[in-house]
Structure 1
């Protein structure tokens, strides 16, 4: 097994399931150390048990929709993990709803996560700069930030993810000269637990299957599909890539897939 990430410490915000979890797994498999942030103690413990045999793993449990949760993560990072050199921002929620039916609470859920990601990332970057650490950051954006889908009306979600895409480009410009690369990935439909927030668990597989033909490649994505690209962007193999948003979408953004 290659030791691509030997001597590196990765923080995965939203790392106890889905794309973040798989990104953590790959980094551990390739010699790195991982710090996960998740909001549910049971999921955090399950993730820890699954990943611990692969390498050194630490878990921070916090609700990123609250200021208290955000501050807790920042405090732990600044006290115990000032040597983080890699960061994946994978936390998110997804509740499709027509624009006119959105309430303030819906909007706040998305924007509070963005706020947490913003300030956790700021603290990580400040530590990297202070220690002259050259590193890489990957934000998990979304195809919905670039293209509206009638079957899944997602105005607030799309607005939040578009903000994450914009943050990616701004950070890349500011931090490039310091040796810190910042990119984002923009997935289409990926089968992760995020859909269980609004689809009954026993119906998720059927709903996911209905989206296969939406993708020119003929299937929805897997967390590993996304994680392979995320970890490539984290690695030195992508040392001349920064400020970009990579579509990992089975061809959706290439054009309309009719017939």
Structure 2
């Protein structure tokens, strides 16, 4: 092989080596690109997870803050309760009560009732209507307004036994949540309504008297001889 042939052969070898090196570089570059792509995807996934965790933490924080604010507000708001029940244990008088059980002043208290209040005593009905139809300008904490409503005679009539009361009011921070109460007088049917206020005391005294009589009889039997001798003397 002459010099030209060796040169051509050498050139081919060099070209072949160059092509192999180029292929190796291309493959290495491709592997690096794939690795970089995977790293970039992993970084994006981490960023997305971190963003989701941050959003969730912010949402939980907002919910906790809103809950804390609501609890604080409810603890500082008036709480007006409307109810119907015996004036006292054993009383035959039923009363309508409007009671602010909250810690702050209730203002502009408005009450709606369905159906309209009605008593077996005709003179009480207009008073009850006025009591629930007018706006109460203010109701201090633990203030209780009481109105005569009816007696045990109600259970002998066809008058409504169930009432729904809706209460709206304002507290220190503005309007409070609307409250609704359902009062079922049928629940009181087996209660102490109509019983004499002192009936339980009387029954207890009668029971004590019976026990004392029994003790006296037992003592007399056990000491009959001594009692007879004492009487003879």
**Same fold, TM-score > 0.5, yes or no:** no
TM-score scaled by length of structure 2: 0.24
**Higher share in strand:** 2
In our comparison, the structure showing a higher alpha carbon Rg is 2
